[in-house]
Amino acid sequence: MNIQNSEKFYAQAQNFMPGGVNSPVRACRAVGRAPLFIDHAKGSKIYDVDGNEYIDYICSWGPNILGHSNERVINAVTETCQRGLTFGACHSGEIELAKLIKKHFPSMEMLRLVNSGTEAVMSAIRAARGYTKRDKIVKFEGCYHGHSDGLLVKSGSGLLTNSIPDSAGVPKGYTDNTLLAKYNNKESVEKLFEEHGDDIACVIVEPCAANMGVVPPQEGFLRFLRDITLKYNSLLIFDEVITGFRLSIGGAQKYYNVKPDLTTLGKIVGGGMPLAVYGGKKEVMQCVAPLGSVYQAGTLSGNPVAVSAGIETLKILEENEAEIYTRLEKISLQLENAMQESGMNVNRVGSIMTVFFTNEKVKDYDTAKTADTARFAEYFRHMQDNGIYTAPSQFEAMFVSFAHTDEDIDKTINAIKSLE
């Protein structure tokens, strides 16, 4: 496959941006290939600057559940642009989007629009701390909640109690109040609550983990988190930046039937534009400024163009709910079956899945880390050479969209089956 033009752009980009990229995983360092520079994308396909066509299973890391450049969404955005790109003021689209979100996420009684998943999570945690007047939070090893300081805590058993920051530039004091538990391990959570229960403002969790690869919650795990947070008067935050509107139109909370106190949404809710949301119980959200003393603001928050992309995307999902989610399940299952028939170890929930190159059943960060990343890199290169665009890291999800055709799925299955 000729990717000469991508390679040329990549060489130039490295003079301007760290690693030539604006988000680290895009540098493709784990798979030994230059990143592709994208020219355009439509439906299930993405096209690079060398004119190669790929079936896209990154889907912009989740937002493109309808595929790329959905006509209705593009029209809505174009029409909105004609009326102005940003007002920094109230507009009725914000209410329309909030209504749609609340309809499908009834636990989000009141909500705030922000610009990124990172911001949504950071703000939700601030609200939880402001409401409970407690400082500590519990997060799980291997769960990613954006890059705000307090959440960049190194995972790993030796660091469970020390909470050492994962990133240079994060003072130790910023993560002192971040307690680490193990995903799918009730005892690790119980222990933290026994020791610090009265100081824990909230537990934050990806209700289906997707940032150590896809790792589903075991039966009863989310219900357990609900019960223990209630017992200790802590709040439960579901970070549904990936799972929101993906596992079902009502996200993971509907899929698993567990109701959190606060929810964060991103990706799909912005229809491909920079938009994210946090919200939940009215009494908690009423602590947020200007009603309450928890400060949070944003020049571009509720941006009309992003809001219109979100509204149109959610309307399409709503109008075609049964058809879309049934099809996503069907074609994702076909891919899973093909992987299993090829002897691969795959975790899947709905339209997100990960092939792990390990013989262990992956149920948490420790088991995810047993994966052979060199073998994954071979798989990645094989798929790319066969016109399939997948995440360049073992610890990411593969996203299936409603735009993927039967022909795309057949072609992908052939590529999977031809892997040696």
Give contact residues for ligand PLP (rule: CB under 6 A): 61, 116-118, 121, 144-146, 206, 211, 239, 241-242, 266, 276
The alpha-carbon radius of gyration of the chain (Å, integer) is 21
Looking at the DSSP bridge assignments, the partners of residue 280 are 110, 262
Least distance between ligand PLP and beta carbon 99 (Å): 23
Least distance between ligand PLP and beta carbon 247 (Å): 12
Least distance between ligand PLP and beta carbon 241 (Å): 4
* Angle, alpha carbons 338-219-143 (nearest 5°): 75
Least distance between ligand PLP and beta carbon 266 (Å): 5
Which candidate in 10, 144, 325, 379 is catalytic? 144
Which candidate in 56, 239, 261, 364 is catalytic? 239
144 or 379, CB closer to ligand PLP? 144
Integer Cα distance of 156 and 198 in angstroms: 25
Residue 86 Cα distances to 63, 89, 91, 299, 395, angstroms: 22, 8, 10, 9, 36
Which candidate in 45, 267, 281, 363 is catalytic? 267
52 or 211, CB closer to ligand PLP? 211
179: left (phi over 0), alpha (psi -120 to 50) or beta: beta
Task: Describe the chain by its helix, strand, coil percentages, rounded to 5.
Answer: 40, 15, 40
Least distance between ligand PLP and beta carbon 254 (Å): 17
3-state secondary structure of 264: strand
In the bound state, the residue with its beta carbon closest to ligand PLP is 117
52 or 118, CB closer to ligand PLP? 118
Least distance between ligand PLP and beta carbon 244 (Å): 9
> Is 135 tagged catalytic?
no
Least distance between ligand PLP and beta carbon 406 (Å): 29
206 or 261, CB closer to ligand PLP? 206
146 or 415, CB closer to ligand PLP? 146
56 or 408, CB closer to ligand PLP? 56
> Is 239 tagged catalytic?
yes
48 or 239, CB closer to ligand PLP? 239
> Is 417 tagged catalytic?
no
List, by residue number, the catalytic residues: 144, 239, 267
